[in-house]
């Protein structure tokens, strides 16, 4: 049970400045204020130092009541435990052995047969200043000496550092530029193809590059399975002979591309009509005077053709 009593002493010292072991002595917690160590240029943190006074042996009840609360014993049992622990301390010292007090330290007999306490209490723990650290603070004289030393260095050093700094800045700028280009090139751009263009005045056909990409894609897909449109009655009802708006599904350059396109989308051939514009073949499948009607027909088309152009 001695070690149980030591745990109580350690706990009480975190909350009290004095813990008495009846008929043995008292542990005293002394606070050492913050101070400046000029030899090491360090501002030492305030700390708590544990010492032992064998002259304070009067029972103040603090240790006994702590034992009663935690161990579930009465006052007589707690005092008996303390007395047995003190008797064990004395026997160990008589046998010239040290008496451990856990993390607090230990007791030993010196050459004069007096009992002395060797503190091992960590000064940076278990106190009100926990978390604070010592700070390195140079004096003004030390800073002036350091500045003078730097000014007396060879000019080669700052020149080298300046060159390195310039190179580092250039590299950093290049990285930023590459990241910006990467974001710009990889970010998708949403194109609104529903913009209307007047056929009578000026029809803005797709750019040549877009046409080439569309045609190339169509040629690569010729050998694939033909997507069959199950029901095109809605397109037939709208008609492809009259109407102000045209629902264009492809823009091709020549007859060969047109034949390949018709082969791939054979189910739409009955509805395909050709609108010639600046040497290009614009294939449309429906016309209407209502713009929204044509837009609602996109669901009737194969999935690859639903990104239609509505011209007027």
What confidence tier does 68 reach under pLDDT thresholds 50, 70, 90? very high
Q: Is the pLDDT of residue 59 over 70?
A: yes
Task: Assess contact for 235 and 285: CB atoms under 8 A.
Answer: yes
Q: Which residue has the higher pLDDT, 145 or 122?
A: 145
Q: Give kind and range of the element (H or E) at residue 249.
A: strand 245-252
Most confident region among 8-12, 41-45, 144-148, 238-242 by mean pLDDT? 8-12
Q: 4-18, 79-93, 142-156, 186-200: which has the minimum mean pLDDT?
A: 186-200
Which residues have C-beta within 8 Å of that of residue 119, sequence separation ≥ 6? 49, 50, 51, 52, 104, 105
Measured CA to CA, the distance from residue 167 to residue 286 in angstroms comes to: 62
Task: Assess contact for 135 and 42: CB atoms under 8 A.
Answer: yes
pLDDT digit string, tens, across residues 253-286 = 899 999 999 999 988 888 889 888 777 888 888 8
Quote the mean pLDDT of the chain. 75
Would you state the pLDDT for residue 182? Answer: 59
Task: Using alpha carbons, list the distances in angstroms from residue 39 to 22, 45, 83.
Answer: 43, 16, 48
CB < 8 Å & 24+ apart, contacts of 273-277: 273/240, 273/241, 275/246, 275/248, 275/311, 277/203, 277/205
């Amino acid at each position: 049970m001695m070690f149980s009593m030591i745990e109580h002493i350690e706990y009480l010292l975190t909350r009290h400045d004095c813990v008495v072991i009846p008929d043995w002595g008292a542990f005293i917690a002394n606070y050492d204020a913050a101070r400046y160590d000029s030899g090491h240029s360090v501002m030492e943190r305030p700390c708590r130092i544990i010492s032992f006074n064998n002259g304070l042996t009067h029972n103040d009840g603090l240790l006994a009541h702590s034992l009663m609360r935690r161990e579930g014993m009465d006052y007589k049992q707690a005092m008996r435990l303390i007395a047995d622990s003190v008797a064990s301390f004395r026997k160990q010292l008589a046998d010239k052995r040290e008496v451990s007090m856990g993390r607090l330290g230990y007791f030993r007999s010196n050459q004069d047969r007096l009992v002395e306490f060797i503190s091992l209490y960590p000064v940076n723990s278990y106190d009100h200043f926990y978390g604070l650290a010592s700070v390195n603070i140079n004096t003004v004289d030390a800073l002036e000496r350091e500045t003078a030393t730097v000014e007396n260095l060879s000019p080669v050093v700052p020149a080298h550092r300046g060159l390195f700094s310039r190179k580092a800045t250039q590299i950093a700028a290049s990285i930023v530029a590459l990241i910006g280009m990467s974001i710009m090139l990889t970010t998708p751009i949403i194109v609104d193809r529903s913009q209307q263009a007047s056929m009578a005045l000026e029809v803005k056909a797709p750019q040549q590059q877009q046409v080439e990409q569309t045609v190339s894609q169509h040629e690569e897909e010729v050998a694939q399975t033909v997507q069959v449109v199950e029901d095109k009655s809605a397109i037939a009802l709208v008609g492809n002979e009259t109407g102000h708006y045209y629902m264009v599904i492809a823009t091709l350059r020549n007859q060969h591309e047109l034949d390949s396109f018709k082969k791939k989308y054979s189910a739409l051939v009955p509805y395909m009509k050709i609108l010639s514009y600046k040497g290009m073949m614009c294939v449309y499948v429906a016309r209407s005077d209502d713009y929204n009607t044509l837009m609602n027909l996109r669901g009737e088309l194969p999935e690859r053709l639903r990104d239609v152009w509505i011209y007027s």
